């Protein structure tokens, strides 16, 4: 009999315990993650977005900001198409967030049958704006400014090789923008990853590239590559002597946003918790230092509805850009 | 030269400091275990332990991560030999002879050969790294798309002898590997290709591991089940110190292929696009082509284990070169190492050597020490690994199936890939019963993407002129070597026939 | 089915597969040579699948001529005995994968191992239970705890919350 009672006692205990767990979860007002959080990166290992995600993960751990860890998962398939679809399918899940590139805007426009509407995603916060510069090998001594760059490219025509990270990526859009602004046509050669592009520029397998500062900085410091023009609104602190395209009378301004977004239908409480977390990270000394060193712009914290408005504006801008230069100019065929 | 020795001495002294030495040993053990699990590789170990390293100073941290990297390279051979499943793409070639050796009861021999060859490969490459880092970095820069394509042609040429005796089936196997590799996004046109039924899982392409684990894990297991009729089979193994020393002394029989593999591995590893996988495959192909007894390869030749293992370890050191000198990762793992260095405020690039010599030489020093310790730890564990094979098959089989499934899930974390792996396993089993060779498909899926991309990049650059491959000295040399390699077996056969004819006269 | 028949059916299957790849390679992609840029995005898969088709046809021709040892073999391709041994294992894996979608990988693994050890391996209950629980626990510790790779849990997810409480507190 005693044994029988003990037998009943075990399930009873388990039930009480699980009810208690459930109660405590609903009782506390502030939302807290209950399991490890999937930190989806819409690009491959080693790229800019990946570095940022892993840095943020490290900082969260170091500062013990979250009771559950953030687990970076790379989903680079189809220029982020796979990541976007994954997030869409995770609608209503409070334990998954996405680190974005600009393919967040362009991929749904170019791959029409993807069926993803980014305005439904839950905006959390914008961590940084990445910038672009036009780079050439230092050995090209006759290129000193934008004018003689354009002249040389026009003369070379299709023989001028511009390297990039892939058709449909940010730099290919920027290259297409330059082609339509200056009225030349170049050969665009895609490489997997900005680092490989940089190496091919130094090895003289390509003639020029639009790279993020982070990818060229070391070669620049070693005197192997030089920036010709920057595509920002104002000159960056790190490149005080390089003119912006706008100063020279060409209205080409282009940024890449690095933001954190949740799946559609994330609960308000969870969204607030994430906003709070990433705001703390944004304002941390480590993050701001990383931004300065990597040539990222991190002046303004944009979160929640403001980020949604920013996304809306950027998506519209990318749509217009792609229409203007023609999707064909970007997709190459 | 003298300055190099002084710097190296400083680096070694740095590496043997108690904290760093502890880091090396823990790192080697973790790497060994992670590498031995099919589906998990140094990428997992390095990526996940990155945050932990915030707790220790940067030098110790990077040493720790490098030790994991090294350990995992050794570990890959363990699952290739004992379980017959390549744990990482770098260990594919190790399966070809490692698995037959284990089945014949010589797992200890294969494991010892793998460990010693890895050590030799690692050591040769670290020495090369120490002496020739800057000039080699310059040389690596000269490799553009045409050179990469020529290198791929050379890699394919080394496999000529790897196919089966049925020519159309071998061709089919190579081609299906190449076609499967094109699934996913084409970065040149920016368009998704071969996305069957709009399944989003195809967008990331077919990971090499999915095919390899499917064919070698599930397919091979089903095949073994058929052979044994599900009966309990226990391999006979005995391990003793004497046997181990004898095995180590056997190194002299394959010292030539090991050295060749090490040097080849190092050079191929330093090229940012290539890395350890093509290096180990090429090394295996060359060892077979130039062997006195090429027919014994694939049936349990120890040199067939030593050659790829020497090359992949050498290449893993080699792939640190572009990372450190150019800031360009040669493999996903070095990409994460690179991320780690950036987080610690160390900027890999042309200036790292001059601005942070302590760090660079500390790392190089730790490579020497890590290599030595991994060898010792590995040798010590061989009896344990061999013991795995003595388990009854009805216990081993479900464990291997379990490892395959979780291992297939780990790299991309989608069930889609696990299902694909299962399908490949079944298809591989059915094809194998009809004498279709499966190894060429696995090789092709590894090298296919590189070959196609570099071919199309080159043709873009030359505006469609194929002469670009012959006009550039490095690529022309590679292509000439490839042609020579392709002709070599038939020329040799011709010469032998003539010699035999002369002898009988 | 004899090996001879199996070889014929396999050749037909590989021909169909090649045709499917060829068809899919033309789907919105260019398979020709684009002047000035080299092969189009569909060219590599298209022409290689054409090669697959030719290799399969070659095998078919050899089958008709009886040139391969398989084409002359009248042995049984998959014997009844093999079907039982291999089929149950493959079926068990199939169940494991399908069940993962509903009850998560850990629960599915438990059932798979239980079935395998007890009914295929005919091991004692003690060893069966020990291993069937021990292996998933080991996998959990390695993946979730050490490597931080979460495996799918489906409806069993809430059962893991208390474990997370223990792990991260």
Chain length of chain C: 169
Whether A309 has a pLDDT exceeding 90, the answer reads yes
- The pLDDT of residue B237: 60
Q: What is the pLDDT of residue B395?
A: 86
Nearest to A34 among C36, C148, C161 (CB): C161
pLDDT digits (tens, 9 = 90+) for A266-293: 999 999 999 999 999 999 998 998 888 7
Q: Is A136 helix (H, G, I), strand (E, B) or coil?
A: strand
Give the mean pLDDT of B162-189.
86
Q: What is the ipTM of this complex?
A: 0.94
Q: What are phi and psi of A109, to 5 degrees?
A: -75, -45
Tell which C residues from 83 to 122 touch B, by Cβ distance under 8 Å: 85-86, 89-90, 93-94, 96-97, 100-101, 105, 109, 112-113, 116-117, 120-122
Q: Are A213 and A255 in contact (CB under 8 A)?
A: no
Nearest chain C alpha carbon to A158: C36
Q: Model confidence over B129-138: pLDDT tens digits?
A: 888 877 887 8
Per-residue pLDDT at A24 exceeds 50: no
Q: For residue B339, give the chain A residue with the closest CA.
A: A51
Architecture of domain A37-130+255-325: 3-Layer(aba) Sandwich (3.40)
Nearest to C52 among B176, B218, B422 (CB): B176
Q: Which tens digits make up the pLDDT trace of B15-25?
A: 788 888 888 88
Chain segment B331-383, per-residue pLDDT in tens = 667 777 777 776 677 777 778 877 888 888 888 888 888 888 889 988 888 88
For the cut 70, the answer to whether the pLDDT of residue B231 exceeds it is no
Verify whether the Cβ–Cβ distance A36 to C164 is below 8 Å.
yes
pLDDT score for A13: 46
Nearest to B169 among C3, C21, C59 (CB): C59
What tokens does B37 get?
A: 């699990």
Q: Where in chain A is the domain with CATH 3.40.190.150?
A: 37-130+255-325
- Out of A18, A25, A333, name the one closest to residue C30 (CB): A333
Return the pLDDT at A275.
95
Q: Where are the domains of chain C?
A: 3-72, 80-168
Angle at B110 between CA B109 and CA B111, to 5 degrees: 95
Percentage of chain C surpassing pLDDT 90? 53
Residue with tokens 């071919």: B455
Position of tokens 């898969």? Answer: C45
pLDDT at B51: 64
Residue of chain C whose alpha carbon sits nearest to that of B401: C93
Q: What is the pLDDT of residue B229?
A: 67
Instruction: Pick the more confident residue, A153 or B189.
Output: A153
Cβ(B333)–Cβ(B315) below 8 Å: no
Name every chain A residue with its beta carbon within 8 A of the beta carbon of C164. 34-36, 68
| Closest chain B residue to A327, measured at CA | B190
Q: Average of pLDDT values for B310-335?
A: 78
Q: Please tell me the distance in Å from A168's CA to the nearest CA on chain C.
A: 14
- Say what percent of chain B tops pLDDT 70: 92
pTM over 0.90: no
Q: Using DSSP bridges, classify how beta strands A122-130 and A296-297 pair: parallel, antiparallel or unpaired.
A: antiparallel
Q: Are B65 and B49 in contact (CB under 8 A)?
A: yes
- Whole-angstrom Cα distance, residue B382 to residue B113? 11
Q: In chain B, where are the structural domains located?
A: 2-504
- Dihedral of CA atoms A221, A226, A229, A230 in degrees, nearest 10, equals -30
How far apart CA B263 and CA B122 sit, in angstroms, is 10
pLDDT tens digits, one per residue of C53-96? 999 999 999 999 988 888 888 888 888 888 888 999 999 999 99
The reply to whether residue A198 touches residue B328, judged by beta carbons under 8 angstroms, is yes
Of B48, B230, B422, the CB nearest to C120: B230
pLDDT > 80? residue A179:
yes
Taking only the tens place, the pLDDT of each residue in B62-103 is 788 778 888 888 888 888 888 888 877 788 889 889 988 888
Q: How confident is the model at residue A40 (pLDDT cuts 50, 70, 90)?
A: very high
Contact yes or no for B27/B63 (Cβ under 8 A): yes
Average pLDDT over residues C100-123: 92
Mean pLDDT of B184-204: 83
For B459-488, give one letter per residue: b (16+ CB within 10 A) or e: bbbbeeeeebbeebeebeebbebbeebbee
> Is B303 in contact with B117 (CB distance < 8 Å)?
no
Tell me how far CA of residue B438 lies from CA of B244, B431, C87, in angstroms: 33, 8, 21
Of B44, B409, B435, the CB nearest to C151: B409
The residue assigned the tokens 């170091």 is: A62
CA distances from B497 to A99, B289, B503 (A): 65, 17, 10
Contact call for B144 and A203, based on CB within 8 A: yes
Alpha-helical segments (H) within A189-331: 194-202, 213-221, 268-282, 285-293, 304-325, 327-331
Q: Do B193 and C41 touch (CB under 8 A)?
A: yes
What is the per-residue pLDDT for A273?
95
d(CA B194, CA C21): 7
For residue A35, list chain C residues with Cβ-Cβ distance below 8 A.
150, 157, 160-161, 164
Burial of C82-116, coded b for 16+ CB within 10 Å and e otherwise, reads beebbebbbebbeebbebbeebbbbbbbbebbbbb
pLDDT for residue A19 is more than 60: no
Q: Do C162 and A67 touch (CB under 8 A)?
A: no
Q: Which CATH class is domain A133-254?
A: alpha beta
**CB C63, CB C11: distance < 8 Å:** yes
Interface test with A, best of C36, C168, C169 (most A CBs within 10 A): C168
With beta carbons under 8 A apart, name residues in chain B contacting C17.
176
Residue with tokens 């990297």: B69
CA distance A191 to B121: 30
Please list, in sequence order, all residues whose beta carbon lies within 8 angstroms of the beta carbon of residue B41, skipping any fewer than 6 positions away: B34, B35, B72, B76, B87, B88, B333
pLDDT tens, B410-432? 888 889 999 999 999 999 999 98
Q: Confidence class of residue A106 from pLDDT cuts 50, 70 and 90?
A: confident
Measured between alpha carbons, how far is B404 from B398 in angstroms, rounded to an integer? 10
Check pLDDT > 70 for residue A329: no
Residue A148 to residue A151: CA distance in whole angstroms: 5
pLDDT at A198 over 60: yes
Query: Which among A76, A65, A130 is positioned nearest to A98, based on CA atoms?
Result: A76
């Amino acid at each position: 009999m005693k044994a029988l009672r003990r037998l009943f006692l075990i399930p009873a205990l388990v039930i009480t315990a699980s009810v208690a767990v459930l109660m405590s979860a609903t009782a506390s007002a502030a939302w807290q993650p209950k399991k490890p959080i999937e930190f989806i990166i819409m690009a491959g290992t080693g790229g800019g977005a990946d570095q940022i995600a892993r840095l943020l993960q490290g900082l969260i751990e170091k500062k013990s900001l979250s009771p559950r860890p953030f687990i970076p998962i790379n989903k680079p398939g189809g220029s982020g198409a796979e990541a976007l679809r994954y997030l869409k399918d995770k609608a209503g899940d409070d334990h998954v967030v996405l680190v974005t590139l600009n393919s967040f805007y362009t991929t749904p426009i170019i791959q029409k049958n993807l069926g993803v509407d980014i305005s439904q995603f839950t905006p959390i916060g914008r961590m940084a704006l990445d910038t672009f510069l036009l780079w050439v090998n230092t050995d090209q001594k006759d290129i000193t400014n934008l004018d003689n760059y354009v002249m040389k490219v026009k003369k070379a025509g299709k023989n001028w090789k511009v390297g990039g990270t892939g058709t449909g990526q940010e730099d290919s859009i920027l290259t297409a923008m330059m082609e339509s602004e200056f009225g030349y046509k170049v050969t665009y050669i895609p490489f997997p990853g900005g680092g490989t592009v940089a190496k091919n520029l130094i090895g003289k397998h390509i003639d020029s590239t639009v790279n993020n500062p982070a990818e060229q900085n070391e070669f620049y410091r070693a005197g192997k590559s030089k920036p010709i023009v920057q595509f920002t609104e104002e000159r960056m602190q790190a490149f005080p002597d390089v003119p912006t395209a706008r100063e020279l009378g060409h209205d080409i301004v282009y940024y890449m946003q690095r933001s954190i977004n949740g799946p559609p239908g994330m609960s308000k409480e969870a969204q607030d918790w994430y906003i709070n977390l990433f705001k703390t990270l944004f304002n941390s000394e480590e993050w701001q230092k990383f931004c300065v060193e990597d040539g990222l712009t991190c002046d303004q914290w944009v979160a929640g509805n403001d980020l949604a408005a920013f996304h809306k504006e950027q998506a519209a801008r990318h749509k217009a850009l792609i229409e203007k230069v023609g999707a064909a100019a970007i997709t190459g065929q | 030269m003298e300055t190099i020795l002084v710097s190296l001495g400083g680096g070694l002294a740095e590496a043997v400091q108690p904290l760093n030495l502890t880091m090396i040993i823990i790192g080697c053990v973790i790497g060994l275990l992670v590498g031995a699990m099919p589906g998990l590789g140094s990428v997992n170990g390095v990526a996940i332990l990155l945050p932990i390293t915030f707790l220790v100073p940067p030098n110790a941290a990077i040493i720790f991560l490098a030790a994991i990297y090294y350990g995992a390279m050794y570990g890959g051979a363990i699952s290739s030999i004992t379980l017959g499943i390549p744990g990482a793409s770098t260990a594919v070639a190790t399966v070809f002879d490692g698995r037959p050796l284990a089945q014949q009861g010589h797992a200890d021999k294969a494991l010892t050969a793998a460990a010693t060859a890895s050590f030799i490969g690692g050591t040769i490459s670290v020495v090369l790294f120490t002496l020739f880092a800057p000039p080699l970095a310059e040389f690596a820069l000269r490799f553009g798309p045409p050179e990469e394509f020529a290198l791929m042609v050379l890699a394919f040429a080394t496999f000529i002898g790897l196919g089966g005796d049925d020519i159309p089936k071998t061709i089919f196997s190579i081609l299906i590997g190449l076609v499967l590799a094109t699934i996913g996004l084409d970065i040149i046109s920016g368009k998704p290709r071969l996305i069957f039924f709009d399944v989003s899982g195809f967008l990331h392409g077919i990971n090499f591991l999915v095919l390899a684990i499917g064919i070698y894990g599930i397919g091979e297991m089903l095949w073994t089940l058929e052979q044994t009729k599900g009966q309990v089979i226990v391999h006979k193994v005995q391990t003793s110190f004497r046997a181990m020393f004898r095995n180590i002394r056997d190194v002299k029989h394959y010292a030539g292929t090991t050295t060749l593999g090490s040097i080849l591995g190092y050079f191929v590893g330093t090229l940012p696009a290539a890395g350890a996988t093509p290096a180990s495959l090429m090394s295996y192909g060359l060892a077979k082509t130039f062997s006195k007894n090429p027919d014994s390869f694939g049936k349990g030749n120890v040199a067939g284990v030593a050659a790829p293992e020497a090359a992949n370890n050498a290449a893993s050191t080699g792939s640190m070169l572009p990372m450190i000198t150019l800031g360009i990762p040669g493999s996903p793992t070095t990409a994460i190492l690179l991320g780690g260095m950036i987080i610690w405020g160390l900027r890999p690039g042309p200036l790292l050597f001059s601005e942070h010599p302590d760090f660079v030489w500390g790392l190089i020093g730790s490579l020497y020490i890590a290599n030595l310790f991994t060898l010792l730890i590995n040798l010590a564990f061989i009896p344990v690994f061999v013991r795995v094979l003595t388990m009854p098959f009805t216990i081993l089989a479900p464990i291997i199936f379990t490892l395959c499934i979780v291992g297939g899930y780990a790299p991309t974390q989608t069930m889609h890939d696990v299902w694909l792996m299962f399908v490949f396993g079944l298809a591989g089993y059915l094809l194998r019963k009809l004498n279709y060779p499966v190894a060429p498909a696995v090789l092709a899926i590894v090298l296919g993407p590189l070959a196609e991309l570099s071919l199309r990049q080159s043709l873009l650059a030359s505006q469609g002129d194929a002469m670009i491959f012959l006009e550039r000295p490095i690529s022309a040399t590679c292509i000439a070597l490839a042609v020579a390699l392709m002709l070599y077996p038939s020329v040799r056969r011709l010469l032998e026939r003539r010699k035999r004819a002369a002898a009988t006269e | 089915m004899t090996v001879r028949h199996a070889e014929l059916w396999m050749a037909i299957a590989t021909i169909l597969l090649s045709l499917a790849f060829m068809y899919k390679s033309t789907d919105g992609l260019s398979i020709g040579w684009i002047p000035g840029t080299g092969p189009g995005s569909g060219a590599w898969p298209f022409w290689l699948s054409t090669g697959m088709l030719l290799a399969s046809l070659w095998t078919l021709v050899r089958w008709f001529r009886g040139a391969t040892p398989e084409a002359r073999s009248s042995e049984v391709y998959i014997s009844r005995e093999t079907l039982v041994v291999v089929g149950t294992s493959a079926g068990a894996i199939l169940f494991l994968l399908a069940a993962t979608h509903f009850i998560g990988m850990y629960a599915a693994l438990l059932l798979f191992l239980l079935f395998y050890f007890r009914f295929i391996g005919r091991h004692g209950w003690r060893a069966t239970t020990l291993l069937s629980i021990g292996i998933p626990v080991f996998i959990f510790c390695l993946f979730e705890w050490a490597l931080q790779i979460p495996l799918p849990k489906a409806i069993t997810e809430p059962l893991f919350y208390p474990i997370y409480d223990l792990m991260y507190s």
